[in-house]
A and B are shown apart, each in its own frame.
Chain A
Amino acid sequence: MAAKGTTVNALASMRSDLSRRKQLDKVFAIVGLAVMLGCLLILLVLFVDLVRNGWPRLTYEFFTSFPSRRAANAGILAAWVGTSLIMVVTAVCAVPVGVAAAIYLEEYAPKNWFSAVVEINVTNLAGVPSIVYGLLALGLFVYQFNLGQSIAAAGFTLALLILPVVIVSTREAIRSVPKTIREAAYGLGATRWEVTKDHVLPYSTGGILTGMILGLSRAIGETAPIITIGALSFIAFLPSSPFTSEPPYISFQWLSDPFTAMPIQMFNWVSRPDPKFQANAAAAGAVLLVMTLLMNGIAIWIRYRFRKKINW
């Protein structure tokens, strides 16, 4: 009888132990989900807060006015034009170099110490704080190369900053192309560059585009490096136009013009004590956030589309 009693007791305690453990398991599943949703909620709160505070300023005039001493007249014309031009320079510099470096590392690099050095450098550059790139640009581009506080200097700086992003995502895309495709092309007598150009790269387009957009979306919001090179925040004129009425119809004068950019403009407004300017800051922030999220959304969509389309 006694033996039976202990068995029953043991069984009962095992059962209660099991149900307790299962309960804990369920609790954690809920906590985990809640934490995740909480983080997403913060993103939402952030956005709503910006839009709510900036709403009265989000008018057509806001996009077509220069900064002004009076908050109600100030706009982001110079800022978004500056940002767009910087992004052109950044993309033109970072994308070809980044893709080429990625191709080299994936398709060409022999396994030796030299490739290892390049590889370590790329990983390391991805972790360098953005403001250090600003210091590099200040010492090198602004003073050594005498580019001054120009659009070119800002564009080059951000290009270096996003280079690791472009390299890493291009490498991932290239790596996911199966070896068999390369071997088939080599088998038909193609050279290494022909294999890369005609087979590997077309299949990697999705990944490369994703990397490029993600890189640019990071560059568009970067403030610290541009402040470091000494961008002015009060600019009531536009850079000279890239297009002219006389031949050769294209001018590169804008590259050496002073500029302001969206994040700089927003920072300038945030740091003013006058609360009227805070609404401007919120409006500029909302525009900046929408631009960033839109670019990220497009990148996610492209990645998804390409992944679905390719069936090896």
Chain B
Amino acid sequence: MGNSLQANTDKPVSSGFGAPNRALLRYRKWRDRLVEVVLLLSGLVAVFTTLAIVIVLLYESSAFFEHVSLKEFFTDTMWTPLFADAHYGILPLVAGTITTTMVALVIAVPLGTTIAIYLSEFAPTKVRESVKPILELLGAVPTVVFGYFALKFVTPALQYFMPDLPGFNMLSAGLVIGLMIVPYVSSVSEDAMRAVPRYMREGSYAMGATRLQTALRVVVPGAFSGLAAAYILGISRAVGETMVVAIAAGMQPNFTFDPREQAATITAYIVQVSLGDLPHDSIGYQSIFAVGLVLMFITLCFNILGFSLTRKFREAY
């Protein structure tokens, strides 16, 4: 890296003392403008991607909504677009999504928060620095591998305690999704807790509080918006998670909130249709864009809420 400090010494910057090489200067300025345009275009790729997502989802699902009324879509309790007796009610898919997400939260919120409190308030720096990257590996495991784990390890383990549990169930899928988002929840929560200023902790310690009391009564309330953000962003991830539910929860739409049953989520339905070979202009093909639009809308709401909360805790202190 050391040599990077030497600028372009090989190029003459001026042709003589006091007489700058105007042509070279013009060239450098012109090149700078060109580079700026190229960089700007790269930045625009992000904007275009968002636009493209919205346009594609709206365009393809508009054909779907020509066949299906919004009322049927949001109130019918059956989702059977591929059957002869076709029903297009998204409620069963939404119920499946809510159930798996709730199970995931039951795991991710307590574990994630405990780990965050431990890492931020208790762990010595060395432990924190070495454990955090390893913990993040848990979030890096491919989701299809987690799906296998849910189906072939967690479900049999659960069946040991609950003999009636079917081979496909939302419980094991939800549990594994919960584990998967633990590192994410804990890392956002920890950031929030570490943003709580030191003097607040010191005030609490000076009053004779222990680390735990300080953590629970000063740091956690102080980092409240950040913790809320962590949970909300965690929800958004759980809602969008696909492979674990597609593998371990079965792909049969089932209007139930009982995690012991099998059911399809919004994402699992998209996978199910994609695995088949539906013609481009069939209603089954269009339906995945319609449910995709709903999925996008749900996650977008949670993301906007979550990110505005994180911005809040960064500004608060």
Q: How large is the interface on B (under 10, 10 to 19, 20 to 34, 35 or more residues)?
A: 35 or more
Min CB distance A76 to B, Å, is: 13
Please tell me if B174 contacts chain A, counting CB pairs below 8 Å: no
- The proximity string for B residues 114-147 relative to A, scoring 1 for CB distances below 8 Å and 0 otherwise, is 1101110011000000010111111011111111
B240 touches A163 (CB 8 A): no
**Closest CB of chain A to B81's CB: distance in Å?**
16
A70 to chain B, nearest CB (A): 21
Residues of A within 8 A of B35 (CB): 193
Q: B15 near A: Cβ within 8 Å?
A: no
Evaluate whether A46 and B141 lie within 8 angstroms (CB atoms) in the complex, with A40-B135, A136-B56 already known: yes
Binds A, one of B2-10, B191-199, B252-260: B2-10
A25 near B210 (CB under 8 angstroms)? yes
From A18, A24, A122, A191, B28 is in contact (CB under 8 Å) with: A191
> What's the least CB distance linking B33 to chain A, in Å?
9
The A contact surface, by secondary structure, is helix
Query: Given that A108-B36, A127-B299, A167-B46 are contacting pairs, would A135 and B270 also be in contact in the complex, using a CB cutoff of 8 Å?
Result: yes
Whether the pair A36, B118 counts as a contact (CB closer than 8 A) is: yes
- Which A258-291 residues have a C-beta within 8 angstroms of B? 263, 266-267, 270-271, 278, 281-282, 285, 288-289
Which of A28, A53, A228 is the one whose CB lies under 8 Å from B271?
Answer: A228
**Cβ of A175 under 8 Å from chain B:** no
Interface residue ranges of B202-219 to A (CB < 8 Å): 208-213, 215
- Chain A CB count within 10 A is highest, among B38, B118, B131, B148, for B148
B271 contact set on A, CB distance < 8 A = 131, 224, 227-228
Q: Assess A139 versus B59: contact at CB under 8 Å? Given A50-B145, A121-B47, A228-B271.
A: yes
Q: Which of A98, A139, A266, A285 has the most CB of B within 10 A?
A: A139
How many pairs of A and B residues are in contact by the CB < 8 Å rule?
A: 291
Q: How far is the CA of A190 from the CA of B49 in the complex (A)?
A: 34
- The answer to whether B56 and A285 have CB atoms under 8 Å apart is no
**Which residues from B are CB-within-8-Å of A183?**
none
| B115–A36 CB distance below 8 A | yes
A-B contact pairs, 30 of them (CB 8 A): A21-B210, A21-B212, A24-B212, A32-B123, A35-B118, A36-B119, A36-B131, A42-B138, A43-B141, A49-B149, A50-B145, A118-B43, A128-B53, A129-B240, A131-B240, A131-B242, A132-B299, A135-B270, A139-B56, A163-B46, A189-B13, A191-B29, A199-B5, A221-B140, A223-B242, A224-B243, A230-B274, A230-B277, A278-B152, A296-B137
Select one of A40, A105, A221 contacting B143, CB under 8 A.
A221
| A291 CA / B249 CA spacing, docked (Å) | 27
B contact set with A: CB distance below 8 Å: 1, 4-5, 7-8, 13, 28-29, 31-32, 35-36, 38-40, 42-47, 49-50, 52-53, 56-57, 59-60, 111, 114-115, 117-119, 122-123, 131, 133-138, 140-149, 151-153, 179, 182-183, 208-213, 215, 233, 236-237, 239-243, 246-247, 267, 270-271, 274-275, 277, 280, 288-289, 292, 295-296, 299-300, 302-304, 306-307
Alpha-carbon gap, A41 to B30, bound state (A): 57
* Number of interface residues, chain A, beta carbon within 8 A: 98
